[in-house]
Structure 1
Amino acid sequence: MKKIIILFITTTLLISCGEKIKKSSLEELNEQKITLVSQIDSLSKKLKTIENKISKLDTHKKLQIITTLPVKNGTFKHYIEVQGVVKADKNIEIKPELGGIVKTIYVKEGQHVTAGQTLMQLDDAEIKNAIAELNTQLTLAKTTFDRQERLWNQKIGSEMQFLQAKAQKESLKNNLATLNTKANKMKITAPFSGIVDEVFPKNGELTSPQMPVIRLLNLDQVYVEADVTETYLPVIKKGTETVLNFPSIHKEIESKVSQTGNYINPNNRSFKTRINLTNKDQSMKPNLLADIKFLDFKAKGIIVPANLVQQDQNGNDYVFTIKTENGEHTIVKNKITVAKEYNHEIYVSQGLTSNDTIVNEGARQVQAGEIVKISTN
Structure 2
Amino acid sequence: MKKIVLIIAVVFGLASCKSNGDDPNEIKNQISEYKQEISKIEDKIAKLESKLSGDSTNSNSNSILVGVTKLAESEFVNYVDVTGSVESNIEALISPEINGQIEKVYVSDGDYVKKGTTLFKLKTEMTNKSIEELKTSLTLAKTIFNKQKDLWDQKIGSEMQYLQAKNNKESLERKLETINTQLNMASIRAPFDGYVEEVFQKEGEMASPGRQVLQLVNLKDLKVTADVSEAYLPNMKVGNLVSISFPTFPDLIIKAPITSIGSIINPNNRTFKIQIKIPNQSNVLKPNIISNIKLIENTYKTAFVIPSIVIKNDASKQKYIYLIKEKAGKLIATKTFIETGASYGNNSMVISGLKAGDQVIYQGYNLVKNGSNVRINKI
Cα distance in structure 2, aligned partners of 1:263 and 1:87: 20
Cα distance in structure 1, aligned partners of 2:131 and 2:370: 99
Shift of 1:268: 2.5
Contact 2:55 2:62 in 1 (8 A): no
Structure 1 residues 150-159 or 198-207, which shifts more? 198-207
TM-score, normalisation: structure 1: 0.81
Cα distance in structure 2, aligned partners of 1:365 and 1:159: 114
Contact 1:71 1:304 in 2 (8 A): no
Cα distance change on mapping 1:121 and 1:72 into 2, 3 Å: farther
Shift of 1:237: 1.6
Q: Is 2:168 the counterpart of 1:176?
A: no
Partner of 2:108: 108
Contact 2:64 2:372 in 1 (8 A): no
Cα distance change on mapping 1:371 and 1:168 into 2, 3 Å: same
Which 5+ residue runs of structure 1 have no aligned equivalent? 8-43
Partner of 2:57: 59
Q: Is 2:320 the counterpart of 1:322?
A: no
Partner of 1:128: 128
Partner of 2:204: 204
Letter of the 1:265 counterpart = N
Shift of 1:324: 2.6
TM-score, normalisation: structure 2: 0.81
Shift of 1:271: 1.6
The equivalent position to 1:339 in structure 2, one of 328, 331, 341, is 341
Cα distance change on mapping 1:332 and 1:365 into 2, 3 Å: same
Cα distance in structure 2, aligned partners of 1:256 and 1:240: 5
Q: Equivalences for 1:1-377 in 2 at 5 Å?
A: 1-2=1-2, 58-60=56-58, 63-71=62-70, 73=72, 74-250=74-250, 251-300=252-301, 301-325=303-327, 327-375=329-377
SS at match of 2:291: strand
Identity level (%): 37
Which 5+ residue runs of structure 2 have no aligned equivalent? 8-40
Shift of 1:364: 4.1
Cα distance change on mapping 1:276 and 1:180 into 2, 3 Å: same
Cα distance in structure 1, aligned partners of 2:217 and 2:322: 59
Shift of 1:53: 11
How many equivalent residue pairs? 338
SS at match of 2:245: strand
SS at match of 1:284: coil
Shift of 1:280: 0.7
Shift of 1:249: 2.3
Cα distance in structure 2, aligned partners of 1:341 and 1:57: 38
Cα distance change on mapping 1:376 and 1:139 into 2, 3 Å: same
SS at match of 2:249: coil
Cα distance change on mapping 1:199 and 1:265 into 2, 3 Å: same
Partner of 2:37: none
Which has the larger Rg? Answer: 1
Cα distance change on mapping 1:129 and 1:297 into 2, 3 Å: same
